[in-house]
Amino acid sequence: MRQIVTATDVQDAHMQGRDHLEITPETVVTDEARDCAVRMGICFIDAQENAVEEVTVDVDGTLDEDPDRGSATDEILSIETRSDVIITGGEILLPGQDVVRADVVIDDGRVIALCQGASSDGLQVDAAGLLVAPGLFDPHVHIGLLSSPGEELATEGNAALLGGICTLGWFIGGEGSHLGMLDGLEGLVSAHSGVDIVPHLVIEDRTQLQEIPEYYERGVRSFKLYMCGIPGLIESVDDGFIMDVFEALSPYKDEVVLCIHAENASVVDRALARNELGGDYDAVAWSETHPALAEEEAIIRGELLGRQFGVRTYFVHVSSREGLEAVRRVRREGGGGRVFAETTSPYLAAPLSASVSEKMVPPLRDRETADALWRGLDEGVLQVVGTDNVTMTAEEKGLGGPADAVMPGYPALGTHLSLLLHEGYHRRSADLMTLMTAVTRGPAEIFGVYPRKGTLLPGSDADCVVIDLDEKRRVEPQRLGSRSDFALAQGRTLRGWPVMTMKDGAIAALNGSRRGKSQGRVILRKSGAERRTGRERD
């Protein structure tokens, strides 16, 4: 049975006062483990004569075949109760590292081994012919803007799990103190959500600005500024306030991330005044109301302030070629270790249909822009792909009314992975490792939850998605789990879908249907030890 040595194993040996680790010729030692060993003075010793004990999982329970199973997923089985699980036969994608053929051994909600030849008396999932990856982490989601947070944690948690997503980064906004929301957040999430939540707090007024130290003490490590607001939802903030937020975060600069909606509000206001949309929606005209120049300038300004105060900046939803080039420039000029950038799956798939249902801020742009964003992802200029999911019904969005009254936003969780696989992997031959790293390990590292999230190495949470790269499905809103009644790419057939999602070692979605009941947790980052290892539970 082949075993994998990780950086966590090296750290554990160092803490125990050991100066070596025994390995066999079959042992896989990750690059991170080797780097860690060099730093800590740990050497690897050949122990070929020592027998390696085979992992055996022994639990009670019976396997129930899925009545809806089909195509390449006929052999995936479900179970009602279990404690130990083995996923066999699949290709295991370790983001940022390699794809290996191994069995994933799970105990008590954690991955405990990657090996070969494991067996189980409990749940054994046959993933032959399929890709097994960590559950996705979408760091950019809005919940409860047009409905109650509890309702949307439930419905959008379902949509996330059906889409292979196990962790969401929730931008929590609203005026006044966030302390009351933080007081009840764990109860709210555990009562309603099937996925884990990383809270990001929007800072938009002086009360929130003054409370930043208390937010930090409670374990919040990510915040957001809107350099340009969303009419009817959030106001823009001026440069003086922006500087005050950077200054308030500077004492924690090595630990926090400031997410920035980067558009120049004055440039956008000027463009809106000059471009009348009229009664009919025109995707090109809408794009011109948010010029690429507004994004480019704001990214340069935001990075300058981040450099001045030493705060790490994360530019959300980069949408334009000019914005991409601004990120490239500031990272090249010394910001590579503290400047991060995200685009979204809808921007990478643009243009979808030029429908008013796709109205967004910033706007979806043309195919040439999408091609440039894919290149930026491949080159490492962009490190993360999120969704910017905004849950709303067609009526709430204003579909059917005048174009200038239609709200920006759309549901994107259920189609996130499939759009990326269809548009990137299949249509553009995008590198699969790069793509999957940007939706798993990339955000987990930036937001301080790796390797608890973003990998399937031993010690990580047993959140995983089994993917059929060739599965074809028609996008139908009613099958995506959201409370929204419309969808991106609606009516189109996409190639590449998640066929099973496992949360904490339990099957949560199978062949497009929710299974069982998973329970989400709030992930706060309170200690240095947790940041180093990601292993501290709530």
pLDDT digits (tens, 9 = 90+) for 88-129: 999 999 999 999 999 999 999 999 999 888 877 789 999 999
Residue 49 pLDDT > 70: no
Q: Using one digit for the tens of pLDDT, what is the confidence trace for 220-242? A: 999 999 999 998 889 999 999 99
8 A C-beta contact, residue 465 and residue 134: yes
Contacts of 157 (CB under 8 A, 6+ apart): 168, 192, 193, 194, 195, 520
* Predicted confidence band of residue 66 (pLDDT cuts 50, 70, 90): very low
- Bond preceding residue 362 cis, omega within 30 of 0: yes
With a cut of 90, say whether residue 437 has pLDDT above it. Answer: yes
- The pLDDT of 201-225, averaged and rounded, is 98
Using the CB atoms, write b or e for 42-57: b if 16+ within 10 Å.
bebeeeeeeeeeebeb
What does the alpha-carbon distance between residue 509 and residue 200 come to, in Å, rounded to a whole number? 26
- Predicted pLDDT of residue 13: 72
Range in 46-50, 177-181, 451-455, 532-536 the model is least confident about: 532-536
- pLDDT value at residue 23: 78
Average pLDDT, the chain: 88
pLDDT tens per residue across span 158-193: 999 999 999 999 999 999 999 999 999 999 999 999
Cβ-Cβ contacts under 8 Å for 432 (sequence gap 6 or more): 93, 425
- Please give the residue that has the higher pLDDT: either 8 or 516: 516
pLDDT, position 70: 35
Mean pLDDT of 310-323: 98
Q: Is the pLDDT of residue 25 over 80?
A: no
Per-residue pLDDT, 529: 38
Q: What percent of the chain has pLDDT over 70?
A: 85
pLDDT tens string 366-419: 999 999 999 999 999 999 999 999 999 999 999 999 888 899 999 999 999 999
Percent with pLDDT over 90 in the chain: 75
At residue 477, the pLDDT reads 97
Residue 36 has pLDDT above 90, yes or no: no
With a cut of 80, say whether residue 483 has pLDDT above it.
yes
pLDDT on residue 267: 97
Q: pTM for the complete prediction?
A: 0.85
Please give the structure tokens belonging to residue 510.
Answer: 């199978």
Please compute the mean of the pLDDT values over residues 445-450 and round it to a whole number. 97
Query: In this structure, which amino acid lies at residue 11?
Result: Q
Beta strands in 211-278 (DSSP E): 222-226, 257-261
Domain ranges of the chain: 4-53, 135-447
Count the neighbouring beta carbons within 10 Å of the beta carbon of residue 398. 16
Q: What is the mean pLDDT of residues 143-153?
A: 97
**Separation of alpha carbons 129 and 114, rounded Å:** 18
Bigger pLDDT: 337 vs 279:
337
Q: What is the average per-residue pLDDT within 37-42?
A: 60
* pLDDT at position 140: 98
Residue 3: both structure tokens together: 């075993």
For 186-203, how does the pLDDT look when each residue is reduced to its tens digit (9 = 90+)?
A: 999 999 999 999 999 999
- Say what the pLDDT of residue 182 is: 98
Predicted confidence at residue 231, as pLDDT, reads 84
DSSP-assigned letters across all residues of 202-214: E--SHHHHHTHHH
Length of the chain: 538
Instruction: Using only the alpha carbons of the chain, give its radius of gyration.
Output: 23
For residue 526, the model assigns a pLDDT of: 73
Closest CA to 506 of 463, 456, 455: 463
Query: 167 near 194, Cβ under 8 Å?
Result: no
User: Which structure tokens are listed for 391?
Assistant: 């849950």
- The pLDDT value given to residue 21: 77
What mean pLDDT do residues 317-330 have?
98
**135-447 in CATH: which number?**
3.20.20.140
pLDDT mean over 14-43: 69
